[in-house]
Amino acid sequence: MINKDFFQALEDLQAEKKINKETFIQTLETALTSAYKKMYGEAKSALVKLNPEKNTIRIYSYKTIVDNVEDPDKEISLAEARLIKKSFKVGDIVQTEESTKDFGRIAAQTAKQVVMQKLKEMERQNALDELSEKEDELLTTIVKRIDNGTIYVQISNSHTEGVMLPADQIPGEKFNVGDRVKVYVKKIKDSFKGTQIQVTRSNIGFVRKLFELEIPEVANGDIVIKNIARDPGNRTKVAIYATKQNIDPIGTCVGFHGQRIDTIISELNGEKIDLIEYTEDPLEYIARALSPAKVLSVETNESLKASRVIVPDDKLSLAIGKNGQNVRLAARLTGWKIEVKSESSVSTQNTKEPEYELTELSDDAFEDLGGLEELEPLTDDED
C-alpha cells in the first residue's frame, strides 16, 4: 500500500514543484476517507490518517457511547465500550483502529488519482500566482502559432501561452511563427480549461508601458502621463507634464534627433503620436489637444463639459481629421465635448450648413488611466 517510497515522492514534489506537502496530505486523507466509506459503508464514521514521519497509514473508526444503540455504525453501548476502557462514560467517543488489509488496492488507486489531480491543480495555481505579477506589464514573447487571426505567444519562463485576439492587434501588422513581439498583459484568467493570459498591442496600456521602457524620466516619475487617447494603427495622443521645472516634457520624450519617440513609433508599426503638454487650464488644454491644427479661440461651458473651438478656414479639415479622428481623440484626451468651426462660418453666422464636428463622450466609454478617463480604442463603427 502506501509506503516509504510514496512519502519520499511527496518530498520530491514539494522540492521540485513547490507544492505544499501538508496541504497535499490533507487532501489525500480526505480522499482516502471517502474511498474507505464507499467500500465499507457511507454511514460509518471513519478517518484515514497519514503519518509522513513514520511512513504509515492508519484508519480509525469512531462511535459514540449511548445507553441504547440504534445505529451500530455510529454508536456503541456503554457496557461494550467499558470492555475497551473502564473509564468510558455515555457521550464519549470510542476510537478504534481498523485493519487496512483489504483496503490496500483501493487506497493505492485513490492515492494515484489524487496525486495526479492535485499536482495539476497546484501547478496551475503556482503558475497563476507567478503570472499574476505580470498583469499590467510589458513582456517580450515569441509567436507560437496563429489560428484564424488569433495569435498565440509563448510567455518566457512559463508553460502558459498568451492569447492575442484580432481586436488586440494593431491593424496592418503581420507576424510569423517564431517572431519576437512585445505585448501588454491585459488580463489573466483562471478557468477549468487552465490559465489564460490575454495580451494586447492595441490597448492604451501598451503605449504607456512603451513610454516607461524607452523614456527613463517617465519610468522614474519626472514626467507623468496624464492621459492617452488612441486609434490603434493610426494616431495616438499622449498628454504629459513634468514634475520638475527644469524638464521640458515634450523635448525629453522626443529625445535627441527624435530617437526616443521614433523607437516607440517603430514599435507601434508607424502609428503617429501627438505629444500634448498637459495644463489645468481647460481652454489651453483643449487647444493643445487639437494639435497639429492651429486654434484661434476656445469657448467652454462648464456645466455641459462642452467647448467650441474656432480654427482658420484652411485648418478646419486638419483640426477635424480624417473621419473626425483628430477631434475625436482630442475629446477623449481632455474629457470635453469639442465642436470645431471655421473662422468664416462664425463670422458669417451660417447656421444652415455649419462646418464643424461635434464629438460627444458617453459616460461608460471611458477607461481609467493615471487619474483621468480614457475611451476604448476606436472601431470602424465609430467612424
C-alpha cell at 8: 519520499
Label residue 193 by pLDDT band (50, 70, 90): low
pLDDT of res. 133: 74
- Enumerate domains of the chain plus CATH numbers: 4-130 (3.30.1480.10), 141-200 (2.40.50.140), 204-382 (3.30.300.20)
Q: What is the pLDDT of residues 15-27, one digit of tens each?
A: 776 667 787 788 8
Nearest alpha-carbon partner for 127 in 119, 117, 137, 139 = 119
Residues 6+ apart with CB under 8 A from 181: 140, 141, 142, 143, 151, 153, 175, 201
Q: Give per-residue pLDDT as tens, 211-264.
A: 999 999 999 999 999 999 999 999 999 999 999 999 999 999 999 999 999 999
* Residues sharing a CB contact under 8 Å with residue 262, sequence separation 6 or more, in sequence order: 255
- Of 40, 52, 46, nearest to 2 by C-alpha is 52
To the question of pTM greater than 0.75 for the whole model, the response is no
Q: Give the per-residue pLDDT at 200.
A: 96
Chain mean position to CA 177: 25
Neighbour count for residue 302 (Cβ, 10 Å): 9
pLDDT at residue 377 greater than cutoff 70: no
Cβ atoms of residues 62 and 95 within 8 Å: yes
The pLDDT value recorded for residue 273 is 97
In which residue are the cell numbers 484652411 written? 314
Q: Are 135 and 188 in contact (CB under 8 A)?
A: yes
CA distance 224 to 221: 6
- Per-residue confidence band for 117, with pLDDT thresholds at 50, 70 and 90: confident
How far is residue 296 CA from its own chain's centroid?
44
Write down the H helix ranges in 41-177: 78-82, 104-132
Question: 369 to each of 64, 87, 225, 279, 378, how far by Cα in Å?
Answer: 63, 71, 9, 17, 17
Q: For residues 272 and 236, is the Cβ–Cβ distance under 8 A?
A: yes
Tens of pLDDT, residues 325-347? 999 999 999 999 999 999 998 87
